[in-house]
Amino acid sequence: MPDQARRQWRDAAGWSVLAVTGLALTAAAVRVGAQLGTASAPFLGRYRFQLGPSSILAPAVAAAVIVLAARGWLDRTRWWAVLGWSYLCTLAWALALAVVDGAAGFTRALSSPDEYSADLAAVGRSPAHFVRHFTEHAGQLSVAARGHPPGPVLLLWGLHRAGVRDNLVLGLLITALGALAVPLVLAAVRGTCGETAARRYLPVLVLAPYAIWTAVSLDAVVATLGAAMVAAGVHASARERTGWRAGAWAGVAGLLAGGAALFSYAVPWLGLALILLYFARRRPFLNLASGIGALVPVLIASDVFGFSWAAGLRVAHADWAVRIAPHRSALWWSGISLVALLLAVGPPLLASLRKVRNTPAWPFLVGAGTAVLFSVLAGLARGGVEHAWLPFFPWLTVAAVAPERQAGPPVAAPLLLTVLGVVVAVVVEAVLATPW
């Protein structure tokens, strides 16, 4: 057996041991009656068994991606075709998993009173008024809106005003926006690790188990904004790009970071990946351009429209402290959240963590990983991380295609680990009914 294949089997076995141990920990928490706030730990939702004709779609999509990767098609075709293929397959994979629940898989999140759609009436015909009084009236908004800046509600409002009112069409459109994260991540990986690594990363990224939570998810849209930010930063810090051109692209990265911050209070943590990237590439002054760019959307929201990002964060934390903290054990969820991450990201995570020092893309993994660890250590991760951490997940497996040793020869795509991740996704989708 070749060394690379043997290493994949070891990684698969190691991940399996960790996953089984984590699930045993979760079962112990349920058995002792720990306050978890969900009937489907380590995730939020409830368990049921859903199997039907539509259940074959996801395996079919996965088979097409795996077969073409195994036959070397990704190594031969043009780069633009690789990006297009990655987008189409990501969209197909997410939709194939969601359709297991029928049309409800695309509309449930948009009809729930706990989600952003419930706040569209509050926006009415005056989005400026809504933004100005967002924190003041936060207690009257949906559960989802209370924990986020006004960006998600305004995006839905804008789509409604543009005539996209049917929940099924809206769900498909949101999924399509979220799927854009994958080609953007691949572009960032190509700019740091080279085209070969990016091509071989495609099946890992496209068939990730967390695609279960990207369908009809505004957190997936945030992931797209975060990926665009990182890709712009990679472009800015490329060796051949200097002077004002580099500064302008770094400013674009900052603008995207600031825009993403108006959708999520957590996504600014991804900016750490940008900071580390600039220092790793010995372009630290680009942090100034990105920092100024990031402030622009936040200051416009504050000075022009009256929304203070810091005040919104305080209100969101106060709501979390009353609504969630007393009812979900911080001790148990600190461990269970990592179990959810292990299952959502899948087996390539172990290979990535093992080889993080061997890839020039380490700033992405370290930046995203630091955000996750801070959330856990601060006791903020208390259920729902499979959704909340979507902007960080794609970056946690970038080293899965890194050489086994620094500056070593390229490795093949870890298709065995990818297939195991596909099995995880199909099983979880069949037994878990998410609240989103």
199-203, 382-386, 398-402, range with the lowest pLDDT? 382-386
How high does pLDDT run on average in the chain? Answer: 95
56-65, 352-361, 400-409, range with the lowest pLDDT? 400-409
Do 322 and 8 contact (CB within 8 A), yes or no? no
Residue 265 has a pLDDT of 96
β pairing state of 46-47 and 432-433: antiparallel
Domain boundaries, the chain: 34-433
**Gap between the Cα atoms of 166 and 153, Å rounded:** 16
Q: For the segment 20-33, what is each residue's pLDDT rounded down to a tens digit?
A: 999 999 999 999 99
Q: For the segment 201-231, what is each residue's pLDDT rounded down to a tens digit?
A: 999 999 999 999 999 999 999 999 999 999 9
Query: Phi first, then psi: what are they for 339, rounded to 5°?
Result: -65, -45
Share of the chain above pLDDT 90, in %: 89
Residue 267 has a pLDDT of 94
Residue 380 has a pLDDT of 87
The answer on pLDDT for 2 being more than 80 is: no
As given in the structure block, the two tokens for residue 326 are 């007393």
Across 2-25, average pLDDT? 93
The answer on pLDDT for 434 being more than 90 is: no
As given in the structure block, the two tokens for residue 63 are 């088979």
Residue 374 has a pLDDT of 93
Across 373-381, average pLDDT? 90
Residue 1 has a pLDDT of 55
Across 157-164, average pLDDT? 94
Band of pLDDT at residue 51, cut at 50, 70 and 90: confident
Q: For the segment 82-97, what is each residue's pLDDT rounded down to a tens digit?
A: 999 999 999 999 999 9
The answer on pLDDT for 44 being more than 60 is: yes
Band of pLDDT at residue 54, cut at 50, 70 and 90: confident
Do 351 and 401 contact (CB within 8 A), yes or no? no
The answer on pLDDT for 232 being more than 70 is: yes
**Gap between the Cα atoms of 200 and 347, Å rounded:** 16
Across 34-43, average pLDDT? 93
